Amino acid sequence: MMKYLLPLVCITLLAVEPSAASGVNAVTLKEKAFVSGEYIHLNDIADIAGPGREKLSSISIMRSPSGPLEITLSSAFVAGRIKEHTPEPVVMNGSTNVRVSERYVEISGKELERIYREAILKNSPWEKTGNIMIESIKTPRCFRVPAKHRSAIQASFSSREDFLGYTPATLSAGTGTTAATCQVSGKVRVITEVPVARTNIPRGAVIADADLEMKHLDISSYPSVVREKKECLGMRAKSTLREGRPVLRTNVEQPPMINRGDPVFIEARIGNLLIRDKGIALKDGFLQERIPVKNAASGRQVFGTVIAASRIEVMF
């Protein structure tokens, strides 16, 4: 029986690592390592064996590289860092140098599309008032980002973005000059209820509630559409508003304080004396705007400043 046990004991002893058998820690340095944390730890760049494996694994070597930058650590440098943390004997094996770079992961086009859709729905001013449809999304085939930013990809849009029609976005992972970025775009359609002209509204008319009605429309082709009636009630039509068409902000304006042809008072002050005469406005005028006015009695044309409804101040 003993003749069979002896070879078995020998095989078992051979299977035990020399470092473990002798109680010495062994650190086998890799040739290449990828890291994703803020600091490089020993277990990132080496295989560790021995009774002190757990303690050695957590030793911080130095700050991790960022972006495409790669650093090279020598075996002697790593041994020195280990010695600073533990007095236990360590045998250095493996490569004489280890090249360390940041770990990157690839984000698929499908995942980028999901991030883009969620960002559109989150930022769109139409989220609560309209039915948003996102079509024709274009993304890179994949997007390489640092592993540590895998779950923190952000989408940003132009400050002037109206989230209608063609809508580009920049997706970024990280911050500063080392941030990874890519471009994603799509077509955004919005079906929502907006005010439209009930009948043709002529140019120059002041818009009243009776001139408008609410209607569901695809407003993707109308980036400056008025969203609510109150935005254009009391405004003046700058051009003819066609029946059934939405009202655009560029189609309306504040009515002037004085209209061309309105009877006005021409006023002039000399010291404490106020001189007032009747006149006819020759041009539309807003508050503090200089416009021509004709004296009703003399027919003389002068320029004055609109200071209130029906009042124009002239200087002599």
* Residues β-bridged to residue 169: 184
pLDDT tens string, the chain, 316 residues long: the values are 444 444 444 444 344 444 444 578 999 999 999 998 889 999 999 999 999 899 999 999 999 988 778 999 999 999 999 999 988 889 999 999 999 999 999 999 999 999 999 999 999 988 888 899 999 999 999 899 988 888 889 999 999 998 999 999 999 998 877 788 999 999 999 998 999 999 999 998 999 999 999 999 898 888 788 989 999 899 999 999 999 999 999 999 988 899 999 999 999 988 888 889 999 999 999 999 999 999 999 999 999 999 999 999 998 7
For the domain made up of 192-253, the CATH class stated in words is alpha beta
Residue 302: its H or E element: strand 301-308
pLDDT at 132: 94
Question: Domain coordinates of the chain in residue numbers?
Answer: 18-102, 106-189, 192-253, 263-313
**192 φ/ψ angles, rounded to the nearest 5 degrees:** -150, 170
* Residues β-bridged to residue 307: none
Specify the pTM: 0.62
pLDDT at 22: 54
- C-alpha span between 290 and 306 (Å, rounded): 6
- C-alpha span between 119 and 106 (Å, rounded): 20
**3 φ/ψ angles, rounded to the nearest 5 degrees:** -70, -20
Topology (CATH) of 263-313: SH3 type barrels. (2.30.30)
pLDDT at 271: 83
CA atoms within 13 A on the CB side of 33: 27
Superfamily of segment(s) 18-102: eubacterium ventriosum atcc domain (2.60.480.10)
On whether the CB atoms of residues 293 and 302 are closer than 8 A, the answer is yes
pLDDT at 68: 79
Tracing tokens 């042809």 back to the chain, one arrives at 261
pLDDT at 17: 47
